């Protein structure tokens, strides 16, 4: 048996027995070749580095069940290439499934021009300030009724209950507040 093959047999026997140092030697001896193989199969440096890790994790995980003897020219590298072949195939299948799933996801609509959104918000803020300024001109009693009616979505009876006033008073205050605001908005529009 050639010297290299004998050294590989001894190294593998130690790895099979759980010798971490021997596994480190195995890694140092073959990691670069496995990396080059994975890089040629994937074309992406970072992916190849990740797959080398997977190859050696699988090697460690399966060490007790793998017997690699028989050939006088036997080395671990061909077996590691076989593991790398399986790992890169799994990577390609996984990547294909991911891309297929991603292809089924609807593409997001193109973003509207942010300037339009900002302009809408500024306009809304200006209108809100104008409405608040007009509401501030109302007597407190009329403003409270109008706010509860418009913003709290309360019925006339509920507003009367909250404020402790007759329902007829609610109706008259609401009508007066609406007339005042309509008049102010008409003047503003002119």
pLDDT digits (tens, 9 = 90+) for 102-156: 888 888 776 666 788 888 888 888 887 877 787 788 888 888 888 888 877 778 9
Q: 3-104 has which CATH code?
A: 1.10.1740.10
Please determine, for residue 86, whether its predicted confidence score (pLDDT) is greater than 70.
yes
Cβ(2)–Cβ(73) below 8 Å: yes
Average pLDDT, the chain: 85
Tokens representing residue 109 in the block: 């609509």
Give start-end residues of each CATH 1.10.10.10 domain in the chain.
Answer: 131-189
Q: What is the pLDDT of residues 60-73, one digit of tens each?
A: 999 988 876 655 55
Q: Are the C-beta atoms of 116 and 127 separated by less than 8 Å? A: no
d(CA 50, CA 94): 14
Contacts of residue 30, Cβ cutoff 8 Å, sequence gap at least 6: 76, 77, 80
- What pTM does this model have? 0.53
Residue 190 has pLDDT above 50, yes or no: no
Structural domain 131-189, CATH architecture: Orthogonal Bundle (1.10)
Residues of the chain with CATH 1.10.1740.10: 3-104
């Amino acid at each position: 048996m050639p010297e290299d093959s004998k050294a590989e047999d001894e190294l593998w026997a130690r790895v099979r027995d759980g010798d971490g140092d021997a596994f480190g030697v195995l890694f140092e001896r073959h990691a670069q070749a496995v990396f080059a193989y994975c890089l040629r199969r994937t074309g992406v440096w970072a992916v190849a580095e990740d797959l080398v890790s997977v190859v050696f994790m699988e090697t460690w995980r399966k060490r007790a069940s793998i017997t690699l003897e028989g050939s006088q020219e036997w080395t671990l590298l061909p077996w590691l290439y076989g593991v790398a072949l399986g790992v890169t195939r799994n990577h390609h299948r996984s990547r294909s499934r991911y891309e297929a799933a991603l292809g089924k996801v609807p593409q997001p609509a193109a973003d509207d021009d942010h300037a339009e959104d900002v302009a809408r918000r500024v306009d809304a803020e200006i209108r809100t300030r104008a409405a608040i300024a007009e509401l501030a001109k109302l007597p407190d009693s009329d403003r409270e009724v109008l706010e509860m009616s418009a913003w709290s979505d309360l019925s006339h009876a509920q507003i009367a209950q909250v404020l402790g006033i007759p329902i007829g008073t609610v109706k008259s205050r609401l009508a007066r507040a609406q007339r005042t605001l309509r008049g102010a908005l008409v003047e503003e529009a002119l």
